[in-house]
């Protein structure tokens, strides 16, 4: 047998140390040091290594125990029925693998339904009722022993203090007098306590004003609230609760429901809140559809969710399948892609952008993050590097910033190798070799050589981008070829390109070359606002460009405007005004405009755009719209653009101020809220008819 490499043993030891520290901080100190998604990824990496090298498994490994011991601040209580954790799946393939596993435990062709429920990102509670009255509320703890927090649980208004047992004689639920008697004797209800997002925001605002540390997320805030010794504070924080299962301990002879779906209905009748976004599915394909729908729609919910819990509906089938040492075989947590993940920095590179800004980038061991493979993350600037104290070889936590750009959020210094050195920003441009500068009061280091190839490439990539001239077919690789081979020294040179010149480039076919030339020609029709944005003037985004072109209908008017006149445009401050004024004073930029005008680009507002700007054709002025579901032909961005072009406003959430809800297929919670508020609903066809 091949000996195990020292680096594998070291990594296993590192992972165990970090996971044990995280468990202690979370369960005992109540001070989490990492997000659940990060813990899950580290745990799975350790699990994978131990599977590959079973001789490395030790009794004290985090993979060898179900949970951690609870803190001793509250009275410890033993659960009458253990609270098992759930096995995790992170994609549809892993869900299908789970389905195949449980099916091997039962006769072939066994029919099954699945109940899908949103996995609330909160804290599990076990509630005990005797004679219909709440007598105990306990935390999950390690699944066997939890903490008695009854006084705090009693403050949660969505948890009934007395059950509505007397009203449970409902034939459809198979509830008989025996069931009611059993429920009155003793019943345990499991569910999730959580903080709504608006309450979480309010709590953090109050803590900030008081100079207290902020909660990292709603789950941590809920955990901290439940562990308050003063129940009056708990009451003020307005925790909420969703119930998801119930059991009668010690009464195997009594079946109060035959399925999870029936149990949820029974819980509702008993007086509990049950999440309304549940679904009974007859196939795994329907489960996948539910999971994919809530991947985006969950962003509109008033609370945090991190996945979907999938349970086999039949209690009889659940009983047949039973449990593993750690998990029920009949349920799984199908989690959404992690927004944060741990990885290791293999190098720190420095990128030069179109404005000359030097941006340090962490080049990392590839890691799955929010459904994509990430191997690079921004470090922003020298100040951020110093703040993080990040070094090559460090283990870091990386996340998606604004769901687009990955960034490093913290360094796990306890895993730092002993021979690392602090990173220092370069004194010369890594592309052209010229000295770089950092102006007083700025965090950014810049290359100021206007002939720098990196600045030119960035300028062209910006010019052809979707929000600027939207020239399809010209991507980063082609831009690099055009600059490196000397075919383009300015964005104006794009309009001198021919298919013959492009055809000579690598991996360029004749038809592709002709399409690109045609796309470049079509860009000449783009309006003055897009051209202004495409010029890449510092601080001028697409919204600012629109405001400027409404005030200055021609390039000549803008070029001749004073700083004060530019600053007089609503939304434009002194810094932006100065940047625009200075840009038009540079002779190279004046030459660029002349060349682009000669090529046929639009540098004046046309009659069509003027009509929109001066208020004519503003059919939807003063009206507020919300869009939900998938529209038949329009993408959501396109529908939004049409509404805004006609003077309307599009928001993300339904309120009393909403005038219209545009409804497509698979409409979610927004539709129910709109119906409750009596808001007018429009189909895509009706919207287009109005327009």
86 labelled as ligand-binding? yes
> What pairs with residue 367 in β-bridges?
374
Contacts of 689 (CB under 8 A, 6+ apart): none
User: CB atoms < 10 A from the CB of 185, how many?
Assistant: 16
374 labelled as ligand-binding? no
Structure-block tokens of residue 506 = 């690598």
> Do residues 199 and 237 make contact, with C-beta atoms less than 8 angstroms apart?
yes
452 labelled as ligand-binding? yes
192 labelled as ligand-binding? yes
Selection from 404, 587, 592 nearest residue 492 by Cα: 592
Structure-block tokens of residue 257 = 């429901």
99 labelled as ligand-binding? no
> What pairs with residue 345 in β-bridges?
364
At 424 the three-state DSSP class reads coil
Structure-block tokens of residue 139 = 């935390």
Rounded CA separation 434/445 (Å)? 13
116 labelled as ligand-binding? no
461 labelled as ligand-binding? no
What phi, psi does 592 have (nearest 5°)? Answer: -60, -45
27 labelled as ligand-binding? no
Rounded CA separation 420/183 (Å)? 63
Torsion from C-alpha of 75, 77, 82, 87, nearest 10 degrees: 10
> Do residues 497 and 481 make contact, with C-beta atoms less than 8 angstroms apart?
no
285 labelled as ligand-binding? no
Rounded CA separation 112/105 (Å)? 13
Rounded CA separation 18/13 (Å)? 9
429 labelled as ligand-binding? yes
> Do residues 512 and 506 make contact, with C-beta atoms less than 8 angstroms apart?
no
Selection from 612, 621, 629, 688 nearest residue 659 by Cα: 621
Residue at token pair 């944005």? 533
Catalytic residue list contains 673 = no
231 labelled as ligand-binding? no
85 labelled as ligand-binding? yes
Contacts of 242 (CB under 8 A, 6+ apart): 120, 158, 191, 192, 194, 272, 273, 274, 275
281 labelled as ligand-binding? no
Rounded CA separation 582/595 (Å)? 20
> Do residues 378 and 390 make contact, with C-beta atoms less than 8 angstroms apart?
no
CA-CA distances (angstroms) from residue 550 to 189, 406, 436, 523? 62, 35, 37, 20
252 labelled as ligand-binding? no
As a 3-state breakdown, the chain gives helix, strand, coil percent values, each rounded to 5, of: 40, 20, 40
Catalytic residue among 119, 400, 457, 670: 119
447 labelled as ligand-binding? no
Residue at token pair 């936590």? 397
> What pairs with residue 61 in β-bridges?
none
* Angle 521-527-528 from CA coordinates, rounded to 5°: 110
> Do residues 425 and 350 make contact, with C-beta atoms less than 8 angstroms apart?
yes
CA-CA distances (angstroms) from residue 325 to 16, 57, 85? 20, 16, 10
Annotated binding-site positions for NAD(+): 36-40, 85-86, 117, 140, 192, 311, 335
Annotated binding-site positions for Zn(2+): 429, 432, 452
Annotated binding-site positions: 36-40, 85-86, 117, 140, 192, 311, 335, 429, 432, 452
Residues forming the active site: 119
């Amino acid at each position: 047998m091949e000996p195990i490499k020292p680096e594998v043993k070291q990594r296993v030891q590192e992972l165990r140390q970090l996971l044990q520290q995280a468990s202690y901080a979370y369960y005992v100190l109540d001070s989490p040091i990492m997000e659940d998604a990060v813990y899950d990824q580290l745990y799975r990496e350790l699990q994978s290594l131990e599977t590959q090298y079973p001789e490395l498994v030790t009794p004290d490994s985090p993979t060898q125990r179900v949970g951690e011991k609870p803190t001793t601040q509250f009275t410890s209580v033993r659960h009458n029925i253990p609270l098992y954790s759930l096995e995790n799946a992170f994609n549809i393939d892993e869900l299908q693998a789970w389905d195949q596993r449980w099916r091997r435990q039962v006769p072939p062709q066994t029919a099954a339904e699945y109940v899908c429920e949103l996995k609330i990102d909160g804290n599990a509670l076990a509630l005990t009722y005797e004679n219909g009255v709440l007598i105990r509320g306990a935390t999950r703890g390690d699944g066997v022993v939890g903490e008695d927090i009854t006084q705090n649980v009693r403050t949660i208004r969505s948890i009934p203090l007395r059950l509505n047992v007397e009203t449970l004689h409902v034939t459809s639920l198979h509830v008989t007098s025996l069931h009611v008697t059993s429920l009155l004797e003793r019943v345990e209800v499991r569910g999730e306590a959580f903080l709504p997002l608006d309450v979480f925001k309010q709590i953090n605002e109050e803590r900030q004003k008081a100079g207290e540390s902020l909660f990292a997320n709603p789950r941590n805030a809920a955990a901290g609230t439940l562990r308050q010794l003063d129940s009056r504070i708990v009451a003020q924080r307005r925790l909420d609760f969703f119930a998801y299962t119930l059991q009668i301990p010690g009464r195997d002879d009594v079946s109060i429901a035959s399925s999870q779906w029936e149990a949820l209905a029974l819980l509702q009748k008993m007086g509990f809140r049950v999440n309304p976004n549940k679904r009974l599915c007859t196939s795994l394909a329907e489960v996948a559809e539910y999971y994919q729908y809530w991947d985006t729609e969950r962003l509109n919910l008033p609370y945090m969710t991190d996945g979907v819990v999938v349970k086999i509906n039949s209690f009889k089938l659940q009983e047949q399948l039973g449990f593993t040492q750690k998990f029920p075989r009949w349920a799984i947590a199908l989690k959404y892609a992690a927004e944060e993940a741990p990885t290791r920095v293999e190098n720190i590179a420095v990128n030069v952008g179109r404005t000359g800004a030097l941006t340090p980038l962490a080049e990392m061991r590839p890691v799955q993050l929010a459904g994509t493979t990430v191997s690079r993350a921004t470090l922003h600037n020298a100040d951020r590097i110093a703040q993080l104290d990040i070094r090559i070889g460090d283990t870091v936590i990386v996340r998606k910033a604004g769901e687009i750009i990955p960034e490093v959020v913290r360094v796990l210094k306890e895993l730092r190798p002993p021979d690392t050195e602090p990173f220092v920003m370069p004194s010369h441009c890594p592309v052209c070799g010229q000295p770089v500068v950092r102006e007083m009061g700025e965090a950014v280091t810049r290359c100021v050589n206007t002939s720098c190839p990196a600045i030119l490439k960035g300028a062209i990539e910006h010019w052809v981008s979707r929000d600027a001239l939207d020239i399809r077919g010209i991507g980063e690789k082609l831009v690099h070829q055009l600059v490196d081979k000397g075919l383009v020294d300015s964005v104006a040179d794009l309009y001198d390109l021919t298919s013959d010149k492009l055809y000579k480039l690598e991996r360029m076919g004749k038809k592709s070359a002709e399409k690109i030339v045609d796309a470049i020609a079509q860009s000449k029709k783009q309006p003055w606002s897009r051209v202004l944005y495409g010029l890449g003037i510092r601080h001028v985004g697409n919204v600012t460009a629109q405001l400027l072109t409404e005030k200055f209908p021609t390039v000549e008017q803008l070029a001749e405007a004073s700083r004060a006149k530019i600053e007089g445009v609503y939304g434009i401050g002194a810094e932006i005004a100065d940047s625009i004024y200075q840009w038009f004073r540079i002779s190279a930029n004046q030459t660029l405009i002349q060349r682009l005008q000669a090529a046929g680009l639009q540098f004046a507002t046309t009659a069509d755009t003027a009509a929109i700007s001066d208020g004519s054709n503003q059919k939807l002025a003063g009206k507020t719209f919300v869009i939900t579901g998938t529209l038949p032909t329009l993408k959501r961005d396109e529908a939004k653009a049409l509404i805004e072009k006609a003077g309307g406003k599009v928001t993300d959430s339904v309120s009393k101020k909403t005038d219209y809800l545009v409804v497509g297929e698979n409409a979610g919670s927004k539709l129910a809220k709109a119906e409750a508020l009596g808001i007018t609903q429009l189909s895509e066809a009706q919207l287009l008819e109005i327009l």
